Amino acid sequence: MAELLRRYGKGLTAAAVLLTAFWLLALVILPYIWLFEQSFRPYIPVVDIGGPKDFYSFNNYLTFLHNPTNIDLGIFSLTVPIHVWVFFITIFYSCVVTLFSLLICYPLAYYLSKIISPKSLPSYLLLLVIPMWVSELLRSFSWFILLAFKGPLTYILMDVLHIISAPVHWTWGLGGYSGIIIGLSYSYILFMLFPLYNAMSSLDTNQIEASEDLGAKWWQTHWRVIVPHAKPGIASGCVTVFMLSVGSILVPTLLASPSSRWFTEIIQQWMFEGQDWNTGAAYAFLLLIVCTIFVTVMMRLFKVGLADIAK
């Protein structure tokens, strides 16, 4: 605060603090408090609100455990509540998207930060950013067209390159979640790339050269020099991609197969199709708890704080 006062003066500092406080209070804290309170109240007609039927309970959260179904996993079958299964499959494939994005972005970030010519860097970054100028809806529709049963990808592989002999349901792979994984990875991959790039750019190249001069192999240099320095960027990218993936509604709706469902679709159904905001709020807070746990685990795993991730 003293640094803000010294740099910007009392007027601008007060305005910045008030605007930040308003944003946190009006757009984050109060809506969450209201949803949290509603998640413990029953879904009842308006005329009954405040009456004897309006009481606090855990019934909305217990709905999560209703409707058991048999899940065939190939080797064995498992009977679990359907919403519990969708919840865990959403978490699992969001982790897959996060790991997939990390594996792609790590070498790309290293190439952009340490290998490419500084004169060419702006052009490469512009090529990466241009697709993001298009809305997520249009980008998802583009993948919907590409992955269609008899879409452009099938035509090229079957009629032009003759690699496949029959049309393929591209979105049916990985239990029906392949299209979602592709769409989420494409939509949020830059949120992994730029934190990694920023972290690697701050690493002194002399440390990499010293490691090589001392006889370290390329993987040893990355594991012992680059990765430890890039830990805040890795943690920030993983947290951001996971949070965006697990909370996405547009991509799973467009690119899902008939056998796949995303947890946010269930929340949307409770709130907008069933008009049951109370149960929807309970489901949303279950998802929020898991996201909070994921952020905490990533911070412990990479031994970074919130300030490091915010950078």
CA–CA separation, 51 and 47 (whole Å): 8
Tens-binned pLDDT, residue by residue, of the chain (311 aa) = 666 666 667 777 788 888 888 888 888 888 888 888 889 988 887 777 777 878 888 888 988 888 888 877 667 777 888 888 999 999 999 999 999 999 999 999 999 988 888 888 888 888 888 888 888 888 888 888 888 877 788 888 887 787 877 777 777 666 678 889 999 999 899 999 999 999 999 888 888 888 888 888 888 888 888 988 888 899 889 989 999 999 898 888 888 877 788 999 999 988 888 888 889 999 998 888 888 888 888 778 877 776 666 66
Does residue 297 belong to any structural domain of this protein? yes
Does residue 44 belong to any structural domain of this protein? no
Does residue 2 belong to any structural domain of this protein? no
Does residue 150 belong to any structural domain of this protein? yes
Does residue 30 belong to any structural domain of this protein? no
Residue range(s) defining the domain that contains residue 226: 77-310
Alpha helices in the chain (DSSP H): 2-24, 30-38, 59-62, 82-110, 121-129, 136-146, 152-155, 173-176, 178-188, 190-201, 205-213, 218-221, 227-229, 231-246, 250-255, 263-268, 277-302, 306-310
CA distances from 92 to 36, 99, 126, 294, 298 (A): 25, 11, 32, 12, 15
Does residue 151 belong to any structural domain of this protein? yes
CATH number of the domain enclosing 101? 1.10.3720.10
Give me the helix-helix angle, 82-110 and 190-201, nearest 10°. 40
In the chain, the amino acid numbered 236 is: S
Does residue 60 belong to any structural domain of this protein? no
Residue 268 makes CB contacts below 8 A (sequence gap 6+) with: 249, 280
Residue 37 makes CB contacts below 8 A (sequence gap 6+) with: none
Q: Which of 172, 189, 13 is nearest to 97 (CA)?
A: 189
Q: What is the DSSP letter of 18?
A: H
Q: pTM of the entire structure? A: 0.85
